[in-house]
Structure 1
Amino acid sequence: MQYEGVLKKMQTEIGKPIQYYLVFESDFLNLNQILNKELTVNFIKHQCLNCGNDRPIFRQGFCKSCFFEIPSAGDWIMRPELSTAHLNQADRDLDYEKRVQLQPHIVYLANSSNVKVGVTRKTQVPTRWIDQGAHEALEIVEAPNRYLAGITEVALKNYVGDKTNWRKMLTNTVADESLVEWRNKLKQYIPEEASQYFVENNTETHLDFPVLQYPEKVKSLNLSKTPNYQGVLKGIKGQYLIFEDNTVFNVRSNEGCYVGLTIS
Protein backbone atom coordinates (compact mmCIF):
# COMPACT_ATOMS: atom_id res chain seq x y z
CA MET A 1 0.00 0.00 0.00
CA GLN A 2 1.27 3.45 -0.88
CA TYR A 3 0.21 6.91 0.28
CA GLU A 4 1.47 10.38 -0.57
CA GLY A 5 0.74 13.81 0.87
CA VAL A 6 1.67 16.61 3.22
CA LEU A 7 2.03 15.70 6.90
CA LYS A 8 -0.36 17.31 9.38
CA LYS A 9 -0.83 16.36 12.98
CA MET A 10 -2.47 12.98 13.35
CA GLN A 11 -6.21 13.03 13.91
CA THR A 12 -7.48 10.92 16.79
CA GLU A 13 -10.60 9.19 18.00
CA ILE A 14 -11.13 8.32 21.66
CA GLY A 15 -11.37 4.59 22.31
CA LYS A 16 -9.63 1.66 23.97
CA PRO A 17 -7.16 2.05 22.48
CA ILE A 18 -7.18 5.51 20.88
CA GLN A 19 -7.46 5.39 17.07
CA TYR A 20 -4.93 7.38 15.01
CA TYR A 21 -5.29 8.65 11.44
CA LEU A 22 -3.02 10.35 8.94
CA VAL A 23 -5.29 12.44 6.73
CA PHE A 24 -4.12 13.48 3.24
CA GLU A 25 -5.85 15.56 0.59
CA SER A 26 -7.68 12.66 -1.02
CA ASP A 27 -6.99 9.72 1.30
CA PHE A 28 -6.48 8.71 4.92
CA LEU A 29 -4.63 5.98 6.77
CA ASN A 30 -5.68 4.32 10.04
CA LEU A 31 -2.31 3.80 11.68
CA ASN A 32 -3.56 1.30 14.26
CA GLN A 33 -4.09 -1.16 11.41
CA ILE A 34 -0.42 -1.12 10.42
CA LEU A 35 1.07 -1.93 13.83
CA ASN A 36 3.71 -4.67 13.44
CA LYS A 37 4.06 -3.83 9.74
CA GLU A 38 7.01 -2.22 7.99
CA LEU A 39 6.58 1.45 7.14
CA THR A 40 8.84 3.31 4.72
CA VAL A 41 8.87 7.12 4.90
CA ASN A 42 10.37 9.12 2.00
CA PHE A 43 10.66 12.90 2.18
CA ILE A 44 9.73 14.50 -1.16
CA LYS A 45 9.48 18.27 -0.58
CA HIS A 46 8.17 20.94 1.75
CA GLN A 47 4.63 22.30 1.43
CA CYS A 48 3.68 25.19 3.72
CA LEU A 49 0.30 24.48 5.36
CA ASN A 50 -0.82 28.03 4.60
CA CYS A 51 0.51 29.13 1.20
CA GLY A 52 1.24 25.65 -0.16
CA ASN A 53 4.62 26.68 -1.55
CA ASP A 54 7.75 24.51 -1.42
CA ARG A 55 9.62 26.63 1.11
CA PRO A 56 11.57 25.55 4.20
CA ILE A 57 9.23 25.06 7.14
CA PHE A 58 9.91 27.54 9.95
CA ARG A 59 7.46 26.52 12.70
CA GLN A 60 4.08 24.80 13.10
CA GLY A 61 4.06 23.64 9.47
CA PHE A 62 4.36 27.19 8.07
CA CYS A 63 7.10 28.87 6.05
CA LYS A 64 8.76 31.84 7.72
CA SER A 65 6.76 34.57 5.98
CA CYS A 66 3.42 32.89 6.73
CA PHE A 67 4.38 32.20 10.34
CA PHE A 68 4.89 35.90 11.02
CA GLU A 69 1.77 37.01 9.13
CA ILE A 70 -1.17 34.65 9.63
CA PRO A 71 -3.46 35.02 12.67
CA SER A 72 -3.32 31.32 13.58
CA ALA A 73 0.39 31.64 14.44
CA GLY A 74 0.20 34.67 16.74
CA ASP A 75 2.13 34.68 20.01
CA TRP A 76 -1.11 34.16 21.98
CA ILE A 77 -1.39 30.66 20.54
CA MET A 78 1.58 29.47 22.61
CA ARG A 79 1.08 32.04 25.36
CA PRO A 80 -2.67 32.34 26.06
CA GLU A 81 -2.10 35.08 28.64
CA LEU A 82 -1.24 37.42 25.73
CA SER A 83 -4.80 37.16 24.36
CA THR A 84 -6.48 40.56 23.87
CA ALA A 85 -9.71 39.85 21.97
CA HIS A 86 -11.70 40.32 25.21
CA LEU A 87 -10.42 43.93 25.18
CA ASN A 88 -11.46 44.33 21.52
CA GLN A 89 -7.76 44.68 20.64
CA ALA A 90 -6.32 42.95 17.58
CA ASP A 91 -3.03 41.13 17.34
CA ARG A 92 -3.20 40.22 13.63
CA ASP A 93 -6.89 39.69 12.80
CA LEU A 94 -9.50 40.63 15.40
CA ASP A 95 -12.36 38.65 13.84
CA TYR A 96 -10.30 35.46 13.84
CA GLU A 97 -8.99 36.13 17.34
CA LYS A 98 -12.49 36.72 18.70
CA ARG A 99 -13.68 33.42 17.22
CA VAL A 100 -10.86 31.48 18.87
CA GLN A 101 -10.20 33.41 22.07
CA LEU A 102 -13.76 34.27 23.13
CA GLN A 103 -14.98 30.74 23.72
CA PRO A 104 -14.75 28.40 26.73
CA HIS A 105 -11.21 27.34 27.58
CA ILE A 106 -10.08 24.60 29.94
CA VAL A 107 -7.15 24.77 32.33
CA TYR A 108 -6.19 21.18 33.02
CA LEU A 109 -3.71 18.93 34.77
CA ALA A 110 -2.22 16.09 32.74
CA ASN A 111 0.24 13.32 33.55
CA SER A 112 2.33 12.34 30.55
CA SER A 113 5.86 12.36 31.98
CA ASN A 114 5.06 14.29 35.15
CA VAL A 115 2.10 16.36 36.32
CA LYS A 116 1.79 19.51 34.22
CA VAL A 117 -0.70 22.33 33.77
CA GLY A 118 -1.99 23.38 30.36
CA VAL A 119 -4.68 25.30 28.47
CA THR A 120 -6.90 24.23 25.60
CA ARG A 121 -10.21 25.19 24.05
CA LYS A 122 -13.07 23.16 25.51
CA THR A 123 -13.77 21.78 22.04
CA GLN A 124 -10.26 20.26 22.04
CA VAL A 125 -10.89 18.00 25.07
CA PRO A 126 -9.70 15.21 25.08
CA THR A 127 -7.75 15.72 21.82
CA ARG A 128 -5.19 17.97 23.48
CA TRP A 129 -4.48 15.39 26.18
CA ILE A 130 -4.07 12.63 23.58
CA ASP A 131 -1.64 14.81 21.59
CA GLN A 132 0.50 15.22 24.71
CA GLY A 133 0.60 11.50 25.43
CA ALA A 134 -1.13 11.91 28.80
CA HIS A 135 -2.24 8.72 30.57
CA GLU A 136 -4.57 10.73 32.78
CA ALA A 137 -5.95 14.27 32.79
CA LEU A 138 -8.34 16.43 34.81
CA GLU A 139 -10.08 19.74 34.14
CA ILE A 140 -9.56 22.26 36.93
CA VAL A 141 -10.87 25.57 35.51
CA GLU A 142 -13.40 26.26 32.75
CA ALA A 143 -12.90 29.92 31.80
CA PRO A 144 -15.10 31.88 29.35
CA ASN A 145 -12.11 33.12 27.32
CA ARG A 146 -8.49 32.34 26.52
CA TYR A 147 -7.05 35.24 28.52
CA LEU A 148 -8.48 34.08 31.87
CA ALA A 149 -7.31 30.54 31.20
CA GLY A 150 -3.88 31.89 30.28
CA ILE A 151 -3.35 33.94 33.44
CA THR A 152 -4.49 30.93 35.49
CA GLU A 153 -1.90 28.73 33.80
CA VAL A 154 0.82 31.34 34.44
CA ALA A 155 -0.10 31.49 38.14
CA LEU A 156 -0.12 27.71 38.55
CA LYS A 157 3.20 27.24 36.73
CA ASN A 158 4.87 28.47 39.93
CA TYR A 159 3.73 25.28 41.68
CA VAL A 160 3.52 22.61 38.96
CA GLY A 161 5.34 22.02 35.65
CA ASP A 162 4.09 23.17 32.25
CA LYS A 163 6.32 21.04 29.99
CA THR A 164 6.28 17.37 28.97
CA ASN A 165 9.52 15.40 29.04
CA TRP A 166 8.96 13.65 25.72
CA ARG A 167 11.65 11.02 26.35
CA LYS A 168 10.01 9.91 29.61
CA MET A 169 6.59 9.99 27.95
CA LEU A 170 7.78 7.72 25.11
CA THR A 171 9.63 5.24 27.31
CA ASN A 172 6.55 5.12 29.57
CA THR A 173 8.51 5.85 32.75
CA VAL A 174 5.54 7.63 34.27
CA ALA A 175 4.41 7.40 37.89
CA ASP A 176 0.71 7.35 38.75
CA GLU A 177 -0.45 10.56 40.43
CA SER A 178 -3.70 11.67 42.03
CA LEU A 179 -4.70 14.63 39.91
CA VAL A 180 -7.66 15.24 42.22
CA GLU A 181 -5.21 15.81 45.08
CA TRP A 182 -3.16 18.12 42.87
CA ARG A 183 -6.30 20.05 41.88
CA ASN A 184 -7.32 20.58 45.50
CA LYS A 185 -3.79 21.65 46.44
CA LEU A 186 -3.57 24.18 43.58
CA LYS A 187 -7.01 25.71 44.07
CA GLN A 188 -5.66 28.39 46.43
CA TYR A 189 -3.28 29.69 43.73
CA ILE A 190 -5.92 30.34 41.05
CA PRO A 191 -6.12 34.11 40.32
CA GLU A 192 -9.10 35.88 41.83
CA GLU A 193 -10.52 36.80 38.39
CA ALA A 194 -10.77 33.09 37.51
CA SER A 195 -11.59 31.56 40.90
CA GLN A 196 -15.34 31.41 40.19
CA TYR A 197 -14.64 29.07 37.25
CA PHE A 198 -12.95 26.38 39.37
CA VAL A 199 -14.19 22.87 38.50
CA GLU A 200 -14.71 20.48 41.39
CA ASN A 201 -16.15 17.01 41.93
CA ASN A 202 -15.09 15.78 38.49
CA THR A 203 -13.01 12.67 37.89
CA GLU A 204 -9.85 11.91 35.95
CA THR A 205 -9.97 10.88 32.30
CA HIS A 206 -7.76 7.87 31.58
CA LEU A 207 -6.31 7.31 28.11
CA ASP A 208 -5.18 4.08 26.47
CA PHE A 209 -2.54 4.34 23.71
CA PRO A 210 -1.94 1.72 21.00
CA VAL A 211 1.62 0.72 21.92
CA LEU A 212 2.87 -2.86 21.56
CA GLN A 213 6.45 -2.09 22.60
CA TYR A 214 7.92 0.97 24.28
CA PRO A 215 11.47 1.99 23.34
CA GLU A 216 14.20 1.56 25.93
CA LYS A 217 16.13 4.55 24.67
CA VAL A 218 14.68 6.88 22.05
CA LYS A 219 16.37 8.21 18.93
CA SER A 220 14.48 10.85 17.00
CA LEU A 221 13.92 10.73 13.23
CA ASN A 222 14.46 14.10 11.53
CA LEU A 223 13.47 14.07 7.86
CA SER A 224 15.79 16.96 6.99
CA LYS A 225 18.75 14.82 8.11
CA THR A 226 17.35 11.39 7.23
CA PRO A 227 14.98 11.81 4.26
CA ASN A 228 14.42 8.06 3.86
CA TYR A 229 13.57 5.70 6.72
CA GLN A 230 12.22 2.17 7.03
CA GLY A 231 11.10 0.45 10.23
CA VAL A 232 8.46 -1.75 11.89
CA LEU A 233 5.76 0.32 13.59
CA LYS A 234 5.31 -0.75 17.22
CA GLY A 235 3.21 2.01 18.70
CA ILE A 236 1.63 5.46 18.56
CA LYS A 237 1.59 7.83 21.51
CA GLY A 238 1.06 11.56 21.67
CA GLN A 239 1.94 12.69 18.16
CA TYR A 240 4.77 10.15 17.86
CA LEU A 241 5.21 6.99 15.84
CA ILE A 242 7.33 4.42 17.72
CA PHE A 243 9.41 1.90 15.75
CA GLU A 244 10.99 -1.44 16.68
CA ASP A 245 14.57 -0.10 16.48
CA ASN A 246 13.80 2.61 19.14
CA THR A 247 13.37 5.30 16.47
CA VAL A 248 10.55 7.76 17.21
CA PHE A 249 8.99 10.15 14.71
CA ASN A 250 7.17 13.29 15.81
CA VAL A 251 4.51 13.82 13.15
CA ARG A 252 3.54 17.23 14.51
CA SER A 253 7.06 18.65 14.36
CA ASN A 254 7.26 17.49 10.73
CA GLU A 255 4.04 19.18 9.59
CA GLY A 256 4.53 20.71 6.16
CA CYS A 257 6.73 17.85 4.93
CA TYR A 258 5.33 16.22 1.80
CA VAL A 259 6.11 12.51 2.04
CA GLY A 260 5.56 9.18 0.39
CA LEU A 261 4.59 6.24 2.65
CA THR A 262 4.87 2.56 1.75
CA ILE A 263 3.44 -0.22 3.94
CA SER A 264 4.73 -3.76 3.54
Structure 2
Amino acid sequence: MQYPLVLKKMITELSEKVQYYEITENHVLNINQLLDREVEINFEGYQCLCCGEEKKIFRQGFCYDCFYKSAQVGDWIMNPELSTAHLNIEDRDLAYEKEVQLQPHIVYLALSSNVKVGVTRKTQVPTRWIDQGASKAIEIVEVPNRYLAGITEVALKNHVADKTIWQKMLKNEIVDADLFAEREKLKNYIPEEVKPYFLDNGHITEIDYPVLQYPTKIKSLNIEKKGIYKGKLKGIKGQYLIFEDGTVFNVRNNEGYKIILTVN
Protein backbone atom coordinates (compact mmCIF):
# COMPACT_ATOMS: atom_id res chain seq x y z
CA MET A 1 0.00 0.00 0.00
CA GLN A 2 1.16 3.51 -0.82
CA TYR A 3 0.21 6.57 1.21
CA PRO A 4 1.05 10.06 -0.14
CA LEU A 5 1.18 12.58 2.67
CA VAL A 6 2.58 15.88 3.87
CA LEU A 7 4.37 15.09 7.11
CA LYS A 8 3.01 16.64 10.26
CA LYS A 9 3.69 15.91 13.90
CA MET A 10 2.12 12.54 14.59
CA ILE A 11 -1.22 12.65 16.39
CA THR A 12 -0.99 10.70 19.64
CA GLU A 13 -3.39 8.98 22.01
CA LEU A 14 -2.46 7.84 25.51
CA SER A 15 -3.52 4.25 26.11
CA GLU A 16 -1.86 1.05 27.36
CA LYS A 17 0.65 1.66 24.56
CA VAL A 18 0.69 5.13 22.97
CA GLN A 19 -1.21 5.11 19.67
CA TYR A 20 0.23 7.12 16.76
CA TYR A 21 -1.55 8.46 13.68
CA GLU A 22 -0.74 10.35 10.48
CA ILE A 23 -3.27 11.97 8.15
CA THR A 24 -2.81 10.88 4.53
CA GLU A 25 -4.72 12.14 1.50
CA ASN A 26 -7.49 9.61 2.01
CA HIS A 27 -6.87 7.89 5.34
CA VAL A 28 -6.14 8.25 9.00
CA LEU A 29 -3.17 5.90 9.22
CA ASN A 30 -2.47 4.13 12.52
CA ILE A 31 1.34 3.95 12.54
CA ASN A 32 1.30 1.26 15.25
CA GLN A 33 -0.10 -1.14 12.67
CA LEU A 34 3.10 -0.78 10.65
CA LEU A 35 5.29 -2.29 13.38
CA ASP A 36 7.45 -5.22 12.22
CA ARG A 37 6.69 -4.42 8.57
CA GLU A 38 8.92 -3.15 5.77
CA VAL A 39 8.33 0.57 5.28
CA GLU A 40 9.69 2.69 2.44
CA ILE A 41 9.87 6.51 2.63
CA ASN A 42 10.24 8.44 -0.63
CA PHE A 43 10.95 12.18 -0.46
CA GLU A 44 8.76 14.03 -3.00
CA GLY A 45 9.09 17.74 -2.18
CA TYR A 46 7.70 20.39 0.16
CA GLN A 47 4.43 22.01 1.19
CA CYS A 48 4.45 24.84 3.71
CA LEU A 49 2.08 24.10 6.58
CA CYS A 50 1.15 27.78 6.77
CA CYS A 51 0.60 29.10 3.24
CA GLY A 52 0.23 25.67 1.60
CA GLU A 53 2.60 26.56 -1.23
CA GLU A 54 5.24 24.15 -2.51
CA LYS A 55 8.14 26.16 -1.12
CA LYS A 56 11.28 24.76 0.49
CA ILE A 57 10.76 24.26 4.20
CA PHE A 58 12.83 26.58 6.37
CA ARG A 59 11.90 25.58 9.93
CA GLN A 60 9.07 23.86 11.83
CA GLY A 61 7.19 23.02 8.64
CA PHE A 62 7.09 26.64 7.47
CA CYS A 63 8.70 28.27 4.43
CA TYR A 64 11.09 31.17 5.03
CA ASP A 65 8.48 33.91 4.54
CA CYS A 66 5.88 32.31 6.81
CA PHE A 67 8.42 31.50 9.51
CA TYR A 68 9.21 35.20 9.91
CA LYS A 69 5.61 36.42 9.55
CA SER A 70 3.27 33.91 11.17
CA ALA A 71 2.17 34.38 14.77
CA GLN A 72 2.32 30.58 15.15
CA VAL A 73 6.12 30.67 15.31
CA GLY A 74 6.88 33.81 17.30
CA ASP A 75 9.86 33.78 19.67
CA TRP A 76 7.53 33.29 22.64
CA ILE A 77 6.69 29.79 21.41
CA MET A 78 10.20 28.50 22.22
CA ASN A 79 10.79 31.06 24.96
CA PRO A 80 7.54 31.42 26.96
CA GLU A 81 9.09 34.07 29.21
CA LEU A 82 8.95 36.43 26.19
CA SER A 83 5.13 36.31 26.16
CA THR A 84 3.52 39.75 26.32
CA ALA A 85 -0.20 39.19 25.65
CA HIS A 86 -0.93 39.61 29.38
CA LEU A 87 0.38 43.16 28.98
CA ASN A 88 -1.77 43.71 25.88
CA ILE A 89 1.43 44.02 23.81
CA GLU A 90 1.49 42.50 20.34
CA ASP A 91 4.33 40.48 18.89
CA ARG A 92 2.87 39.53 15.49
CA ASP A 93 -0.89 39.06 16.01
CA LEU A 94 -2.31 40.09 19.37
CA ALA A 95 -5.63 38.27 18.94
CA TYR A 96 -3.87 34.97 18.26
CA GLU A 97 -1.33 35.58 21.01
CA LYS A 98 -4.07 36.28 23.56
CA GLU A 99 -5.87 33.11 22.53
CA VAL A 100 -2.79 30.96 23.07
CA GLN A 101 -0.93 32.77 25.85
CA LEU A 102 -3.85 33.72 28.10
CA GLN A 103 -4.94 30.22 29.03
CA PRO A 104 -3.83 27.79 31.75
CA HIS A 105 -0.26 26.53 31.37
CA ILE A 106 1.56 23.75 33.17
CA VAL A 107 5.18 23.69 34.25
CA TYR A 108 6.18 20.04 34.65
CA LEU A 109 8.97 17.58 35.26
CA ALA A 110 9.39 14.79 32.72
CA LEU A 111 11.63 11.74 32.70
CA SER A 112 12.68 10.85 29.18
CA SER A 113 16.45 10.32 29.43
CA ASN A 114 17.12 12.57 32.40
CA VAL A 115 14.79 14.65 34.56
CA LYS A 116 13.85 17.83 32.70
CA VAL A 117 11.60 20.82 33.25
CA GLY A 118 9.21 22.05 30.59
CA VAL A 119 6.17 24.19 29.79
CA THR A 120 2.97 23.34 27.97
CA ARG A 121 -0.59 24.52 27.66
CA LYS A 122 -2.88 22.55 29.96
CA THR A 123 -4.81 21.35 26.91
CA GLN A 124 -1.59 19.74 25.61
CA VAL A 125 -1.23 17.39 28.60
CA PRO A 126 -0.21 14.57 28.08
CA THR A 127 0.49 15.18 24.36
CA ARG A 128 3.58 17.27 25.09
CA TRP A 129 5.04 14.57 27.31
CA ILE A 130 4.47 11.89 24.69
CA ASP A 131 6.11 14.06 21.99
CA GLN A 132 9.23 14.24 24.16
CA GLY A 133 9.34 10.50 24.71
CA ALA A 134 8.82 10.86 28.47
CA SER A 135 8.26 7.64 30.40
CA LYS A 136 6.95 9.57 33.41
CA ALA A 137 5.81 13.13 34.09
CA ILE A 138 4.42 15.20 36.93
CA GLU A 139 2.96 18.72 37.08
CA ILE A 140 4.66 21.35 39.24
CA VAL A 141 2.49 24.46 38.85
CA GLU A 142 -0.62 25.44 36.92
CA VAL A 143 -0.64 29.16 36.05
CA PRO A 144 -3.16 31.35 34.17
CA ASN A 145 -0.85 32.49 31.36
CA ARG A 146 2.24 31.55 29.37
CA TYR A 147 4.42 34.33 30.81
CA LEU A 148 4.19 33.02 34.37
CA ALA A 149 5.00 29.52 33.13
CA GLY A 150 7.96 30.90 31.22
CA ILE A 151 9.56 32.73 34.13
CA THR A 152 9.08 29.62 36.27
CA GLU A 153 10.87 27.45 33.72
CA VAL A 154 13.72 29.98 33.50
CA ALA A 155 14.11 29.95 37.29
CA LEU A 156 14.03 26.16 37.56
CA LYS A 157 16.35 25.33 34.69
CA ASN A 158 19.21 26.74 36.76
CA HIS A 159 18.70 23.65 38.94
CA VAL A 160 17.44 20.98 36.52
CA ALA A 161 17.92 20.23 32.82
CA ASP A 162 15.52 21.68 30.24
CA LYS A 163 16.58 19.42 27.36
CA THR A 164 16.11 15.75 26.59
CA ILE A 165 19.15 13.75 25.51
CA TRP A 166 17.29 12.30 22.53
CA GLN A 167 19.80 9.55 21.76
CA LYS A 168 19.46 8.13 25.28
CA MET A 169 15.69 8.50 25.13
CA LEU A 170 15.60 6.40 21.94
CA LYS A 171 17.93 3.77 23.40
CA ASN A 172 15.70 3.67 26.51
CA GLU A 173 18.66 4.66 28.69
CA ILE A 174 16.68 6.38 31.42
CA VAL A 175 17.95 7.50 34.82
CA ASP A 176 16.14 6.31 37.92
CA ALA A 177 14.50 9.28 39.63
CA ASP A 178 11.74 10.04 42.13
CA LEU A 179 9.74 12.83 40.47
CA PHE A 180 7.88 13.68 43.69
CA ALA A 181 11.19 14.22 45.47
CA GLU A 182 12.63 16.17 42.53
CA ARG A 183 9.58 18.43 42.48
CA GLU A 184 9.89 19.08 46.22
CA LYS A 185 13.57 20.06 45.79
CA LEU A 186 12.60 22.68 43.22
CA LYS A 187 9.77 24.22 45.24
CA ASN A 188 11.97 26.90 46.84
CA TYR A 189 13.24 28.10 43.45
CA ILE A 190 9.80 28.94 42.08
CA PRO A 191 9.37 32.73 41.63
CA GLU A 192 7.43 34.36 44.48
CA GLU A 193 4.55 35.44 42.23
CA VAL A 194 4.10 31.83 41.08
CA LYS A 195 4.35 30.05 44.45
CA PRO A 196 0.57 30.29 45.09
CA TYR A 197 0.08 28.10 41.99
CA PHE A 198 2.23 25.21 43.25
CA LEU A 199 0.39 21.88 43.00
CA ASP A 200 0.73 20.08 46.32
CA ASN A 201 -1.06 16.97 45.17
CA GLY A 202 -1.11 15.54 41.68
CA HIS A 203 0.07 12.21 40.37
CA ILE A 204 2.75 10.76 38.13
CA THR A 205 1.62 9.93 34.61
CA GLU A 206 3.37 6.85 33.25
CA ILE A 207 3.69 6.38 29.49
CA ASP A 208 4.50 3.19 27.58
CA TYR A 209 5.55 3.27 23.92
CA PRO A 210 5.05 0.75 21.10
CA VAL A 211 8.67 -0.37 20.75
CA LEU A 212 9.60 -3.94 19.83
CA GLN A 213 13.35 -3.35 19.76
CA TYR A 214 15.42 -0.43 21.05
CA PRO A 215 18.54 0.49 19.03
CA THR A 216 22.04 0.19 20.49
CA LYS A 217 23.51 2.53 17.88
CA ILE A 218 21.58 5.35 16.23
CA LYS A 219 21.70 6.75 12.70
CA SER A 220 19.52 9.79 12.07
CA LEU A 221 17.73 9.73 8.71
CA ASN A 222 17.94 12.86 6.53
CA ILE A 223 15.27 11.96 3.99
CA GLU A 224 15.77 15.19 2.03
CA LYS A 225 19.41 14.25 1.40
CA LYS A 226 18.94 10.49 1.06
CA GLY A 227 15.81 10.68 -1.11
CA ILE A 228 14.60 7.17 -0.30
CA TYR A 229 14.87 4.86 2.69
CA LYS A 230 13.56 1.35 3.33
CA GLY A 231 13.63 -0.55 6.60
CA LYS A 232 11.64 -2.64 9.07
CA LEU A 233 9.80 -0.50 11.62
CA LYS A 234 10.58 -1.67 15.15
CA GLY A 235 9.26 1.12 17.31
CA ILE A 236 7.73 4.55 17.77
CA LYS A 237 8.75 6.82 20.62
CA GLY A 238 8.41 10.56 21.07
CA GLN A 239 8.03 11.73 17.48
CA TYR A 240 10.55 9.20 16.15
CA LEU A 241 10.19 6.12 13.99
CA ILE A 242 12.77 3.49 15.00
CA PHE A 243 13.98 0.96 12.42
CA GLU A 244 15.67 -2.42 12.77
CA ASP A 245 19.05 -1.21 11.48
CA GLY A 246 19.24 1.59 14.10
CA THR A 247 17.99 4.30 11.72
CA VAL A 248 15.65 6.78 13.40
CA PHE A 249 13.40 9.30 11.65
CA ASN A 250 12.19 12.40 13.47
CA VAL A 251 8.75 13.05 11.98
CA ARG A 252 8.34 16.42 13.68
CA ASN A 253 11.65 17.72 12.32
CA ASN A 254 10.42 16.88 8.82
CA GLU A 255 7.03 18.61 8.96
CA GLY A 256 6.06 20.06 5.60
CA TYR A 257 7.96 17.42 3.63
CA LYS A 258 5.91 15.60 1.01
CA ILE A 259 6.56 11.88 1.02
CA ILE A 260 5.13 8.63 -0.28
CA LEU A 261 4.97 5.99 2.43
CA THR A 262 4.96 2.45 1.02
CA VAL A 263 4.09 -0.43 3.35
CA ASN A 264 4.93 -4.01 2.34
Question: Which interval holds the TM-score relative to the shorter structure?
Answer: over 0.9
How much has 1:67 moved relative to structure 2?
0.2
Residues 174-196 of structure 1 show CA distances to partners (whole Å, capped at 9, x for unaligned) of 12211100110000000011110
The one-letter code matched in structure 1 to 2:230 is Q
Pairing 1:108–2:95 present: no
TM-score, normalised by the number of residues in structure 1: 0.99
Q: Which residue of 1 aligns with 2:244?
A: 244
How much has 1:244 moved relative to structure 2?
0.2
Pairing 1:10–2:7 present: no
C-alpha distance in structure 2 between counterparts of 1:36 and 1:124, whole Å: 30
How much has 1:23 moved relative to structure 2?
1.4
How much has 1:24 moved relative to structure 2?
2.6
C-alpha distance in structure 1 between counterparts of 2:203 and 2:143, whole Å: 18
Is the contact made by 2:211 and 2:235 (CA closer than 8 Å) also made in structure 1?
yes
Once superposed, what is the RMSD of the aligned Cα atoms? 0.7
Aligned residues: 264
Q: Which residue of 2 aligns with 1:70?
A: 70
TM-score, normalised by the number of residues in structure 2: 0.99
C-alpha distance in structure 1 between counterparts of 2:104 and 2:52, whole Å: 31
Is the contact made by 2:35 and 2:233 (CA closer than 8 Å) also made in structure 1?
yes
Q: Which residue of 2 aligns with 1:204?
A: 204
Pairing 1:41–2:31 present: no
Q: Which residue of 1 aligns with 2:173?
A: 173
Structure 1 counterpart SS, 2:167: helix
C-alpha distance in structure 1 between counterparts of 2:25 and 2:88, whole Å: 36
Larger deviation, residues 53-62 vs 135-144: 53-62
Q: Which residue of 2 aligns with 1:226?
A: 226
How much has 1:25 moved relative to structure 2?
4.2
Segments of 4+ moved more than 4 angstroms? none
The one-letter code matched in structure 1 to 2:95 is D
Q: Unpaired runs of 5+ in structure 2?
A: none
C-alpha distance in structure 2 between counterparts of 1:224 and 1:42, whole Å: 9
Pairing 1:99–2:113 present: no
Q: Which residue of 1 aligns with 2:55?
A: 55
Structure 2 counterpart SS, 1:36: coil
C-alpha distance in structure 1 between counterparts of 2:25 and 2:191, whole Å: 44
Q: Unpaired runs of 5+ in structure 1?
A: none
